[in-house]
Amino acid sequence: MKQPRAWQRMLSGRRLDLLDPTPVDIEIEDIAHGLAFVARWNGQTRGDWPYSVAEHSLLVEAIFTRLMPEAPVKWRLAALLHDAPEYVIGDMISPVKAAVGPAYGELDKRLAAAIHIRFGLPAEVPKTVKAQIKKADQMSAWLEATQLAGFSEKEADRFFTAPKPGLVAGLCLHLRPPVEVRAAYTARHAELLALL
């Protein structure tokens, strides 16, 4: 019996095996392109453009940097790349992830390890750093929920972490065309790599 195809052709020309990804098949342009077209909140946000995973990742990295101003640049890069596997597996909202079970998490973990190695990070981010990235992720989700996804602050408080106002002062949520978000994500990635 013929095995089903488990790879995807990327716009860079790479052929990424989703079940056994290798760092040599990872390109930042593919990640940025894919994430700029993946909508957070299953697209259920206000505005003329979807709020993309690329935009979310930029926000998470900014919040993480404010939470951990002394953190090495490599962990800021890890924050930017925290949802990078979604460039090929998409963004599932938490209730769907729970319904799918551990298979999605295992796929995400394998892809994340290959991505991390590709950009000079350890395959697994230390638990203490991962916890701070998750905290920034939850704060980002609270901002997104209340500003874009129709949640009241009270409702968002039940599911996410409300950021202290001073921590997010001056940060604003962007709704931009994918081409602009892709460019911003790629540029931020290059800035962080240059600082390593």
Domain annotation covers residue 166: yes
Q: How far is CA 76 from the centre of its chain?
A: 12
Number of separate domains in the chain: 1
SS3 15: strand
**74 closest CA partner among 196, 187, 186:** 196
Per-residue pLDDT of the chain (196 residues), as tens digits, is 777 888 999 999 999 999 899 999 999 999 999 999 999 999 999 999 999 999 999 999 999 999 999 999 999 999 999 999 999 998 887 778 788 878 888 999 999 999 999 999 999 999 999 999 999 999 999 999 999 999 999 999 999 999 999 999 999 898 999 999 999 999 999 999 999 9
pTM for the full predicted model: 0.95
Backbone angles phi, psi at 40, to 5 degrees: -75, 160
Mind giving me the DSSP string for 120-183? T--SS--HHHHHHHHHHHHHHHHHHHHHTS---HHHHHHHS-PPPHHHHTT-------HHHHHH
Domain with 94 in it: what CATH number?
1.10.3210.10
Contact 184, 54 (CB under 8 A): yes
Domain annotation covers residue 148: yes
Domain annotation covers residue 142: yes
Q: Which domain holds residue 140?
A: 17-39+46-195
Domain annotation covers residue 134: yes
Domain annotation covers residue 4: no
What is the predicted pLDDT for the residue at 5?
A: 83
